[in-house]
Amino acid sequence: MKETSVLHIWNVAGVSSILAKYQNRLFGWKTWVIMRKEFDQFITTVYGELCSCGRARFYLKSILASRLYNIIHIHYIDKILPWLRRIYRRKCLVMHYHGSDIRGKWELKRRLWSKADLVIVSTQDLFTEAPSSERNKKIFHLPNPVDTELFKPMPNLRRKGKALFIYSSRRPKLRESLEWAKKIAKQNSLSLEILDIDRNPIRYIDMPRLLNRYEYFIDHCYVPALSKTALEALACGLKVIRWDGRVIEGLPEQHKPENVVKKLKEYYERACPEIFSKVLA
């Protein structure tokens, strides 16, 4: 029996590490993640390796590492797709987009994502925006997973009436949400604390304790989709105020890691049946 193996290239918000970890745990697959250290400010690569190298060397390392895996799952850096397709014609190539890397750019980037056997998007709005002729054929929506081993309630830390809003002073759209968050906090009589992650970066492994200090988390308002941090807040037991002002509680089943990797396995099998038929042979 040939082993199923998956290499995740790049790691957006720790998603790759979660997918690889649970693919290995649930299915026994050989999995790994490679990511450039320079772009992992919050050290979200808790499963996999961080590479201290430039772009060209990282691309070369990724291409060489890919020879050892039969599924290559690329996140964000779609420019590597044509190279991988040219070199590994028989491998299953998966392109995974997470937000601004594809939002409003589907036609502009068609020459890149068209090289993949399967295209995954992290939010429903990205799926709705994708070319209709490709939806549910080649392009699929996969909810963001949350590592529920790490993000869980710590009731002894909770402070009633406290709300947290996290933004990046380098990202204009998040800055635009700042005034909205202040307004929402006032309307709900909440004491708001604002964290600029550019000035005060928080390590990924420290986020659960930070989130658990609050009763509410106010999410961004510029996209009708929950951020990954909002999902992590829900997993920690916080009430989340989403883009439309609605208060929600509890992590939805579709975002639990076991359910996400099972759904992803279905997509793999659909896009690249020959890989799995060889595995079972």
Residue 185 lies in a domain: yes
Does any domain span residue 46? yes
**Cα-based distances in Å from 77 to 55, 110, 235, 238:** 10, 14, 29, 33
Q: How far apart are CA 146 and CA 262, in angstroms?
A: 14
The CATH number given to whatever domain includes residue 274 is 3.40.50.2000
Task: Note whether 173 and 248 are same-domain residues.
Answer: yes
What is the Cα 156 distance to its own chain's centre? Answer: 29
Q: Give me the pLDDT at residue 1, please.
A: 43
| Residue 267, in any domain of the structure | yes
Q: What SS3 state is found at 255?
A: helix
Answer whether 0.75 is exceeded by the pTM.
Answer: yes
Alpha-carbon distance values, 203 to 44, 162, 206, 233, 275 (Å): 8, 21, 5, 15, 37
Residue 193 lies in a domain: yes
Task: Please state the φ and ψ torsions of residue 179, each to the nearest 5 degrees.
Answer: -65, -35
Phi and psi (nearest 5°) for 94?
A: -120, 130
* Co-location of 33 and 136 in the same domain: yes
Query: How many domains are contained in the chain?
Result: 2
pLDDT of residue 128: 96
- 74 domain-assigned: yes
Same-domain check for residues 91 and 214? no
Q: Do 160 and 84 belong together in one domain? A: no
Looking at the DSSP assignment, which residues form a beta bridge with residue 239? 216, 249
List the CATH number of the domain containing 181. Answer: 3.40.50
Tokens of 147: 């590592």
Identify the pLDDT of residue 173: 67
On whether residue 150 sits in a domain, the answer given is no
- The pLDDT score that the predictor gives to residue 223 is 82
Q: Please check whether residue 249 is in contact with residue 239, taking contact to mean a CB–CB distance below 8 angstroms.
A: yes
Give the pLDDT of residue 279.
64
| 75 and 186 part of one domain | no
Radius of gyration of the chain (CA): 19
CA proximity to 204, closest of 39, 15, 11, 14: 14
Which pLDDT score, from 0 to 100, does residue 174 have? 66
Which residue ranges in the chain fall short of pLDDT 70? 1-2, 172-175, 278-281
- Both 109 and 178 in one domain: the answer is no
Do residues 219 and 198 both lie within one domain? yes
DSSP SS3 for 178: helix
**Assigned domain for 48 exists:** yes
Same domain, 181 and 118: no
d(CA 234, CA 211): 9
In percent, the amount of the chain with pLDDT more than 90 equals: 88
Looking at the structure, tell me whether residues 269 and 132 fall in a common domain. yes
In a domain, 102, yes or no: yes
Query: Rounded to whole angstroms, how far apart are CA atoms 112 and 271?
Result: 17
Nearest to 242 by CA among 253, 254, 255, 229: 229
Range of the domain at 100: 5-144+256-280
Would you say 32 and 48 are in contact if contact means Cβ atoms under 8 Å apart? yes
138 and 10 belong to one structural domain: yes
* 100 and 180 within one domain: no
Considering the domain architecture, whether residues 16 and 97 belong to the same structural domain is answered as: yes
| Spatial CA neighbour of 73 closest among 275, 224, 277, 278 | 275
Q: What is the pLDDT of residue 147?
A: 98
